[in-house]
A and B are shown apart, each in its own frame.
Chain A
Amino acid sequence: SAVISQKPSRDICQRGTSLTIQCQVDSQVTMMFWYRQQPGQSLTLIATANQGSEATYESGFVIDKFPISRPNLTFSTLTVSNMSPEDSSIYLCSVLDNSGVASGDTQYFGPGTRLTVL
């Protein structure tokens, strides 16, 4: 399975600032995803990061607030812009591993970035 790392693991930020979260995977993958997990909640998909093209955002999420880059098949960044306390969440990167033809595709997750906005 793919091994995924995220940086930073946690951060405390001031209102109005921006934070860029990095996601690195140890193998080339076609699809990478960004999720938000608000305190005590389940996961909500923010967007799918597409290599070489703009990210595909889910309803309720916009590029101006959550710009995403995907410069190659092993790396992506998510920026949380103009932060407010409501943005305090865990942000998770995941990848689609479709190398298991017999076992089907699987999403694997990074360790997450715990963001607190004051």
Chain B
Amino acid sequence: AQSVTQPDIHITVSEGASLELRCNYSYGATPYLFWYVQSPGQGLQLLLKYFSGDTLVQGIKGFEAEFKRSQSSFNLRKPSVHWSDAAEYFCAVGPGANNLFFGTGTRLTVIP
């Protein structure tokens, strides 16, 4: 069965600092992998996705993620965090985009 683990419930970073949000998954084959962001009171916005090809994926708002098959990970990174990045981040995995299992989310706080 597929599963997604986001080990960090809450992360606090200073504005301008680098960020890495962890995502580990359990799945038998190469999955579809997604990162979504949810700002307070909003729906989910797609940041980036991986389904094949280059394992380093670029997304919107300066985010990137790297698929590491050997570690079953798909960590999200950003070199310099902005105050507007404060939100909840969800990793999702599935055999296809029509069958996704979501992690429990990581809440990001950005301090000035």
Binding site for B on A (CB under 8 A): 1, 4, 6, 31, 41-43, 45, 48, 92, 94, 96, 98, 103-112, 114
Contacts and interface: CB of A to CB of B under 8 A. Distances in A.
Main secondary structure, interface of A, reads strand
Nearest to A114: B41
B45 A42 contact: no
B26 interface: no
Interface string B41-56: 1111110010110000
Interface centre among A4, A43, A96, A109, by most chain B C-beta atoms within 10 angstroms, is A43
Given A103-B49, A103-B51, 5 more contacts: A41-B104, A96-B98, A104-B32, A109-B36, A110-B43
Contacts of B102: 42-43
A43 B103 CA distance: 8
Query: What 4 pairs across the A-B complex have the smallest Cβ distances?
Result: A105-B97, A104-B51, A109-B44, A111-B43
Chain B interface size band reads 20 to 34
Contacts of A96: 97-98
A107 B104 contact: no
A62 B43 CA distance: 24
B67 interface: no
Contacts of B52: 104
A1 B104 contact: no
Contacts of A111: 42-43
B49 A106 contact: yes
Contacts of A106: 34, 46, 49, 97
Interface in B51-65: 51-52
B90 interface: yes
Contacts of B90: 42-43
Interface centre among A96, A105, A107, A110, by most chain B C-beta atoms within 10 angstroms, is A107
